A and B are shown apart, each in its own frame.
Chain A
Amino acid sequence: MATWNPWQHMERVRRDIDHAFEQAGWQTNGHNGHHGHNGRTFQTAFLPGRAARAYPLVNVNEDAQALYVTALAPGLDPAAVQVSVQDNRLTIAGEKQRLSTDIQPEAFHRSERAAGKFVRTVTLPVEVEQEHVQADYKHGLLTVTLPKAEKAKPTQITVSLGA
């Protein structure tokens, strides 16, 4: 039988707070000290930094018919982007192209754009029709349209007027 343990509860709260700070780009001193932050704490509002964190960032929109996942991913080769759906998990994988290695390191004035391979999985809130998922890449935004499964669509119920 489970008993209420206040210390365990506090530990969970502490982890939640750490998690919230990490999402904002702040490095907490706890369990994630391995993140390479280069001494920087806050990153640009949403753009890819050098920190190990969720990339690409996604927004999820919804209407009665479908879910729309928009990922912020400039500089990809559209042919190399892999979008897959399994059960209610959407996975986006790809590679942001690096600059040519011909450029000498000393020629750089600034180097802020991160590059490299990434994979991100988003758990979807409802069931979707996997065969009809569409992905579209435009101006550096990847939009995945996932039509909802029939049983996940809202049903309109007519209210009958009682006599």
Chain B
Amino acid sequence: MAESTVAMPETEQTQAVTQAENPSVETTRPREYSLTPPVDIYETPESLVVMADMPGIDPAHLDVRVDNDILTLRGQTQHQASGDPRYREYTLMSFFRQFELGERIDQEGIRADLKHGVLTLTLPKAAQAQPRAITINAA
């Protein structure tokens, strides 16, 4: 499963942000900096499982898609801390990461589950990509 970065079609969310900031000017630079979430990816006979640490993301602002064998994880953090900052060790920004899927994935069966800031994504392999035991006929 190779990591890759491809141009993404703008989502309504990002479009809204750009237009609100600057209605007339088009920009060629990335609109925002983003963080790369660390992931665990493992394979079971039926599926690929992707787990990503994405703290501060709520399900409504998480966008997971598979398009042309490219898996994209994108999340916008909405966390607002009270008070004025006094000491900082991290900055929460949006998360972004892409992977190229080597296996055929059954797109209908993808399940995503976000719990305590950890995204668990189950990508079932398409039937033709699953291992098949071939019965040997004894002559």
Contact = CB atoms under 8 A, between A and B. Distances in A.
Contacts of A72: 55-56, 90, 92
Interface string B52-95: 11111110000000000000000000010111111111111000
Counting contact residues on chain A (CB < 8 A from B), the size range is: 35 or more
B51 A109 contact: no
A138 to B, nearest CB: 8
Contact of B116 (A60, A107, A112, A139): A139
A6 B33 CA distance: 43
Interface residues of B, number: 36
Contacts of A26: none
Contact of B51 (A62, A66, A113): A113
A83 to B, nearest CB: 16
Contact of A61 (B41, B54, B58, B82): B82
Contact of B53 (A45, A61, A113, A143): A113
A107 B53 contact: no
Contacts, number: 129
B83 to A, nearest CB: 4
A93 B92 CA distance: 22
Contacts of B51: 99, 113
B89 A61 contact: no
A107 B38 CA distance: 17
Nearest to A74: B117
A62 B84 CA distance: 5
Interface in A90-132: 99, 103, 107-114, 125
A66 B85 CA distance: 12
Interface stretch (A11-19, A46-54, A149-157): A46-54
A112 B37 CA distance: 9
A110 B40 contact: yes
Given A59-B81, A59-B89, A68-B83, A109 B56 contact: no
Interface of A: 44-49, 54, 57-63, 66-68, 70, 72-76, 78, 99, 103, 107-114, 125, 137, 139-141, 143, 145
